[in-house]
Structure 1
Amino acid sequence: MIVYVESPAGGGGGVKERCEIVEEAMASALLEVSMTASAAVRANAQVQRLGDLRIGEQIGFRSMQMRGVKLAIPQPLRSTRVNNSVRISAVTAESSSPVFQDSLKRAVAKKAVELVKPGMIVGLGTGSTASMAIEELGKLIAAGKLKDVMGVGTSYQARVLARQFGVKTVDLNDVNVIDIAFDGADEVDGQMNLIKGGGAAHTMEKVVNTMAKKTVILVDQSKVVSELGLTFPVPVEVLPFAISPVLRSLVALGGEPEIRSALRKDGPVITDLGNMVVDVRFPGGIKDPADLERRINMIPGVVENGLFVGIVETVLVATKDAEETVIIDLADYVKNLQQAKNDAAEEKASSS
């Protein structure tokens, strides 16, 4: 069945975007919003206009393929220490490898679990960095350095990993408070606003992180951005029977929605709560994360979205200081980014 979703356009008219509904046996209708050629051009232009995102043109660009469109994505940053302060510069292609990223994630995970005290109830996030934090927490428990620690998992994966690494878990409904929660993020801006949900667990993550006395977000340097939404879509968890009206509403908000497809099965990703996930791109970026979070959640059929605004108190960033891995607070990292930008501008001015 072919349907058309009408999205707002200039001059009071509407632009109809072609959507295909593919019926799956014993599954809800799967609606896949096609990205038009013009939308691809707009997305490519937006990425190339990232400007000061991760220092923009000063750090060089690498190419990648996304939806068949060649996009220019900033490379991660490396820091160097000058006069006892961390300075930011571009990294090589080797430094942006998965091994390099994993080393940063491991370092920030080890640093984070040092905040856990005996007897605490700990929120256990979902994703690659959070998984390493669960493993490091298990090592401290096994070594006898932490006792009577209980974990509250934000997903089936988190609970399985906790049991694997010796972290006892408890159901969320059986606790009144969570002392500290650890989680990762797909993007974080300078105001500690986040996009989460790459692991399709953002609904439970938001519940756990909101309950926690302190939420600590663990990221490597590649996740820090100047504006949310320019490179990573906003995940939206949706009730399966409401998928079509929700998609129309997301288009009306200026988004480009696409149902997330599973990698090792045909059809859509289904969350631990039995819902579908729609990834929504906003080519112009997200100017007001709090307003967009509220507006998306007001759409009937939406369970929760991946914008986290005003929840996080601490963001730890793993970066490189020459050959040493350094863990610094987000505010200090952003300050270093701005200093690097100013230095690059001064160098350019002096050489011209």
Structure 2
Amino acid sequence: MVSMASSSSFFSALTHSPMPFKGSRNNTIRSHALRMMTRSCPDDSSSLLHAAQFTVDTYVKSGMVIGLGSGQASAMAIRHLGRLLRTGALKDVIGIPMSVTSASEAAKAGIPLDSYQESSQIDFAFDDADVIEEGSLIAIIGRRKLQGDESIVQKKSILNAANDLVFIIEEDQYKGGLEGSIPVLVQSLNWLETAEEIDDMFLGDAEVWRRPSIGQAGPLGGDFPLVTREGHNVLDVIFTSPIVNLAEVADSLDKVKGVVEHGVISKYPSTITIEISIDKNVGIT
């Protein structure tokens, strides 16, 4: 048990899972960890900024190759990393961006960049997540609209290639009994058969819609369904009841013919950095 009673300071607690977990696509079994920080903050943006800065200060070392995530928290972390490089606090750091947006942020921050290759050796990566499953620390990414040439396939490749990984999230994104959608990339040819198989698999628990590129969402994706840069359609598996076991869902999706990738991340080792606003005693086991 680690606890702190002050609302004007922060603490970090590293909690190792008592049960190692097997990833659906990455079959290595490793430990994972939760790093929580508490601070009395006036708003969510300052809370997230502190978590982003803490992540860079704690994990990034000179000479590292860093996977640069996309999203609000990742942009904050990229800007902070750039400041540390400009002041000389860090040296010889190379960034591998996960999207055009993160590449643009990194270029403005003055971070030297390289492109991702299958042979790339990545020391550390950070990213945003839509939600994290409490206990297992399995993440979901890709719920929001994809920006530019953003690719779930490339993002997962970089995250899985990293020796260490941190997701930067807010308190309400870490929860049990997850609800909402899981994005699933499928082959465009015969996509409807794949969608029907997924629908049958989760019958009564989820709806399966093809994501549109413009206009309103709908089961068939409208007249202009989204096609990723790799040529895939995106299905949103929208759960209408809490997801009992996210790992089992991911494993089931992996076995469906026509599924190329999905937004469930079960990479280990991983750490979650959470900033929690508090005004009273707190404790973590």
State the Cα distance separating 1:161 from its structure 2 match.
1.9
Matched, 1:144 2:88: yes
Closer, same or farther: CA 222–145 of 1 in aligned 2, 3 Å = same
Correspondence for 1:246:
194
Structure 1 Cα separation of the partners of residues 176 and 154 of structure 2: 26
The 3-state SS of whatever aligns with 1:206 is helix
- Alignment RMSD: 3.0
The match for 1:284 among 222, 241, 244 is 241
State the identity as a percent. 26
CA distance in 1, matches of 2:119, 2:92: 14
SS in 2 for 1:204: helix
The separation in 2 between residues aligned to 1:134 and 1:272, in whole angstroms, is: 25
Tell me if 1:300 matches 2:248. no
What is the number of residues matched between the two proteins?
236
Q: Indicate conservation of the 8 Å contact 1:193/1:312, yes or no.
A: no
Whole-angstrom CA distance in 1 between matches of 2:118 and 2:91? 19
Amino acid at match of 2:50: A
- Taking structure 2 as the reference length, the TM-score comes to 0.73
1:273 maps to 2:224: no
Distance change (3 Å), C-alpha of 1:161 and 1:198 = farther
Residues in 1 aligned to 2:60 and 2:91: alpha-carbon distance in whole angstroms: 10
Residues in 1 aligned to 2:10 and 2:84: alpha-carbon distance in whole angstroms: 31
1:287 deviates by 2.0
1:130–1:183 CA contact under 8 A, matched in 2: yes
Specify the alignment match of 2:52 in structure 1.
109
Which has the higher relative contact order, 1 or 2, with Cα contacts under 8 A spaced 6 or more apart? 2
1:80 Cα deviation from its structure 2 partner: 7.3
Larger Rg belongs to:
1
How much has 1:245 moved relative to structure 2? 1.4
**Inter-CA distance 180–279: structure 2 relative to 1 (3 Å threshold):** same
Q: Corresponding residue for 1:28?
A: none
TM-score by length of 1: 0.60
Spell out, residue by residue over 1:88-125, the C-alpha distance to the aligned partner (whole angstroms, 9 max, x if none). Answer: xxxxxxx9xxx933222211111111121111000111
SS in 2 for 1:282: strand
What amino acid maps onto 1:117 in structure 2? K
Unpaired stretches in structure 1, ≥5 consecutive residues: 1-78, 87-94, 336-352
Higher mean C-alpha displacement, 100-109 vs 111-120: 100-109
Specify which structure has the higher proportion of helix: 1
Counterpart position of 1:256: 207
Residue deviations 1:274-325, cap 9 Å, x none?
A: 43222112223222222221221222222211111243521110111339xx
Give 5+ residue unaligned stretches, structure 2.
12-39, 217-222
